[in-house]
Chains A and B, each alone.
Chain A
Amino acid sequence: MIEVALSHRFAGFALEVAFTAPGGVTALFGHSGSGKTTVVNAVAGLLRPDRGRVVVGGRVLADTDAGVFLPTHRRRVGYVFQDARLFPHLTVRQNLTYGRFFAPKGGEDFDRVVDLLGVGALLSRRPGGLSGGEKQRVAIGRALLSNPALLLMDEPLAALDEPRKAEILPFLETLRDVTRVPILYVSHSLAEVARLATTVVLLRGGQVAQSGPVAEVLADPASAAVVGPREAGAVLSVTVSGTPGEDGLTRLDSPGGPLWLSGITAMPGQALRLRIPASEVILSRAAPQGLSALNILAGRVGAIEAEGADAMVRIDLGGVDPGQGGGQAILARITRRSVAALGLEPGAEVHAIVKSVALAGHI
């Protein structure tokens, strides 16, 4: 459990942020200048906020009202920076074990972390000769091995190209699943957030716009304003319900009906996370006939948020009974004219035609 409340004033910028997060990965999402890094630096003790309170797992790291401000080295926060910041004069092994010397006994096993991050072959080398992806993996291992009470990751993938990102993301996913250390993950990529986060905190202009479970927040039409209409889209949990057919498609069950996707390697019964961009969804009042689209989900309009000529519509999946969908919903971005033409209003039954779906990750 992480509890953060901060208030800080820079020249021309005021930060006023408060949120709590359970374990797992909490994503701080926002565009540049929204105050994400400031929050993380305050949690790490690298920045002293004007006022604030930071509690991690019941331990008070800072409470300006009570005059508590632990120095960075006593906070036990493992920090993975955007630029890996490995010590150039130490070998990979020495970098990895640097924090061990200061940390209380226990925590992750060295060999296990080395295995998990696949850095075994690099141990005797120095950071100077490593690739960007390798450096970042070592940096993650170094933070993890300092036996932290909280891991901070400030856009750890932002400096990497797409192939390197694809190389690291699975490690982060595994990390989330095998370690009990909560992770505060700063990102401005919705794809990363959708893939990794359990909780998301949307920041805009130094304030929390929304926060909560990732599926809930991203399916809220109001979140689209922070995320941006192009990127907005819900995250949907589905279950694999078969093996790929002859045509390469696998059936995935969702509360709104089955979805068919290619390239699924997960075993039947496994849970997957899908990302459905709002702009890839078309709505229809009647059950569509004679369409080439395979993926059609049934649900009811939950909320509509109009902005300019566009409207964001939340569709609560699960047909007639509102509780049936387990609270899962998707977002559709349509025009206001269509909202009027279709007579859409909360409670109206709709069919959502999903043009494209991206596999966001495993759960």
Chain B
Amino acid sequence: MFDWLTPEARAAVLLSLKVSVWATVVSLPFAIAIAHGIARRAGWVWQAVNGIVHLPLILPPVVTGYLLLLTFGRKGWIGQWLDQWFGIVFAFKWTGAVIAAAVMSFPLMVRAIRLAIEAVDPKLEAAAGTLGANRLWVFGTVTLPLIVPGIIAGAILAFAKAMGEFGATITFVSNIPNQTQTLPSAIYAFLQVPGGDVAAARLVAISVVVALTALVASELVARRVARLIAGN
């Protein structure tokens, strides 16, 4: 596959796919938990959480990347600790790209899931309670199945966003070919050298195809699930 790409470009595409899948999968449980909290609980704590989660959406991506570097870098207050105790390093590693992509796509994911949770009638959850289900069971057997379309939509949106993440990623993990060079970073790199436009154009085409596929797939899956739930 991708014979028509240079090895460097091919590595960038595969890395972006890997990073995006990981970022989506890892952030999904957190996104569901936080979306549930924001949708179903009142109080300033959840208001604050809501604000923090949405920060990457409005901050310049470079700023987010720099803050990640300050936090998870070798000298960062979490990064230092992770390095000393577990030997885990994020800065300038593909795992760092996962963190950057996850943080940047998180607000989109939370937003989609939150909207789905708000659409679930709390009366159904109360009914499940009267039948003997505790909070966790109510969530698992009533809320969760009913928000599956929202989760799928949120996950695919986040995946597409992760595929295109550039600013925070390049700031946090740089643009090292075959190591931390994601698809957008590769496009950027090709555009910096004379005669690189053809290679860049090929990657642009791939980006467009991936994004469109994700969009169509999410629409189809969400529709199918909604039909299943409606019972027709």
**CB contact between A88 and one of B128, B133, B231 (< 8 Å): that residue:** B231
Query: Chain B, interface size: which category?
Result: 20 to 34
> Which chain A residue has the least Cβ–Cβ distance from B229?
A89
Q: Is the CB of A146 within 8 A of B231?
A: no
Let me know if A334 is at the binding interface, CB within 8 A: no
Q: How far does the alpha carbon of A7 sit from the alpha carbon of B142 in the complex, in Å?
A: 32
Let me know if A87 is at the binding interface, CB within 8 A: yes
Chain A residues within 8 Å of B121, by CB: 85
> Which chain A residue has the least Cβ–Cβ distance from B131?
A99
Q: How far does the alpha carbon of A125 sit from the alpha carbon of B129 in the complex, in Å?
A: 23
A61 to chain B, nearest CB (A): 12
In B210-231, the 8 Å CB interface with A consists of 228-231
1/0 contact string of B120-157 vs chain A (CB within 8 Å): 01011011111111100110011001100000000000
How many contacts A-B (CB < 8 Å)?
A: 76
Given contacts A46-B126, A72-B126, whether A99 and B134 have CB atoms under 8 Å apart is no
Q: How far does the alpha carbon of A28 sit from the alpha carbon of B121 in the complex, in Å?
A: 27
**Chain B facing A: main interface SS:** helix
Q: Is the CB of B123 within 8 A of A87?
A: no
Q: How far does the alpha carbon of A44 sit from the alpha carbon of B130 in the complex, in Å?
A: 7
Chain B residues within 8 Å of A73, by CB: 129-134, 137-138
B49 to chain A, nearest CB (A): 25
A185 to chain B, nearest CB (A): 16
A87 to chain B, nearest CB (A): 6
Chain A residues within 8 Å of B231, by CB: 88, 125-129
In A56-82, the 8 Å CB interface with B consists of 71-79, 81
Chain A residues within 8 Å of B145, by CB: 89
1/0 contact string of B76-99 vs chain A (CB within 8 Å): 000000000000000000000000
Q: Is the CB of B127 within 8 A of A78?
A: no
Q: Is the CB of A87 within 8 A of B124?
A: yes
Chain A residues within 8 Å of B6, by CB: none
Chain B residues within 8 Å of A99, by CB: 131-132
Q: How far does the alpha carbon of A149 sit from the alpha carbon of B141 in the complex, in Å?
A: 23
Chain A residues within 8 Å of B192, by CB: none
Q: How far does the alpha carbon of A103 sit from the alpha carbon of B137 in the complex, in Å?
A: 13
Chain B residues within 8 Å of A142, by CB: 131
Q: Is the CB of A102 within 8 A of B124?
A: no
Q: Is the CB of B131 within 8 A of A98?
A: yes
- Residue of A98, A127, A128 most packed against chain B (CB within 10 A): A98
Q: Is the CB of B123 within 8 A of A102?
A: no
Chain B residues within 8 Å of A45, by CB: 129
B231 to chain A, nearest CB (A): 3
Q: Is the CB of B137 within 8 A of A87?
A: no
In A91-105, the 8 Å CB interface with B consists of 98-99, 101-103
Let me know if A25 is at the binding interface, CB within 8 A: no
Chain A residues within 8 Å of B142, by CB: 87
Q: Is the CB of B229 within 8 A of A102?
A: no
Let me know if A360 is at the binding interface, CB within 8 A: no
Q: Is the CB of B230 within 8 A of A88?
A: yes
- Residue of B130, B142, B146 most packed against chain A (CB within 10 A): B130
- Residue of B127, B145, B228, B231 most packed against chain A (CB within 10 A): B127
Q: Is the CB of A87 within 8 A of B128?
A: yes
Q: How far does the alpha carbon of A283 sit from the alpha carbon of B221 in the complex, in Å?
A: 73
Let me know if A196 is at the binding interface, CB within 8 A: no
In A105-142, the 8 Å CB interface with B consists of 125-129, 142
Q: Is the CB of B132 within 8 A of A103?
A: yes
Q: How far does the alpha carbon of A290 sit from the alpha carbon of B89 in the complex, in Å?
A: 107
B55 to chain A, nearest CB (A): 34
Chain B residues within 8 Å of A74, by CB: 132
Given contacts A87-B142, A89-B229, A126-B231, whether A76 and B127 have CB atoms under 8 Å apart is no
Let me know if A83 is at the binding interface, CB within 8 A: yes
Chain B residues within 8 Å of A125, by CB: 231
> Which chain A residue has the least Cβ–Cβ distance from B145?
A89
> Which chain A residue has the least Cβ–Cβ distance from B121?
A85
B130 to chain A, nearest CB (A): 4
Further 13 A-B residue pairs, CB within 8 A, beyond A85-B123, A98-B131, A129-B231: A45-B129, A72-B129, A73-B134, A73-B137, A85-B121, A85-B126, A87-B124, A88-B146, A88-B231, A99-B131, A102-B133, A125-B231, A128-B232
Can you list 8 A-B pairs, Cβ within 8 angstroms, ordered by A? A46-B129, A72-B126, A73-B132, A73-B133, A79-B130, A87-B142, A146-B131, A146-B132
Binding site for A on B (CB under 8 A): 121, 123-124, 126-134, 137-138, 141-142, 145-146, 228-232
Binding site for B on A (CB under 8 A): 44-46, 71-79, 81, 83, 85, 87-89, 98-99, 101-103, 125-129, 142-143, 146, 152
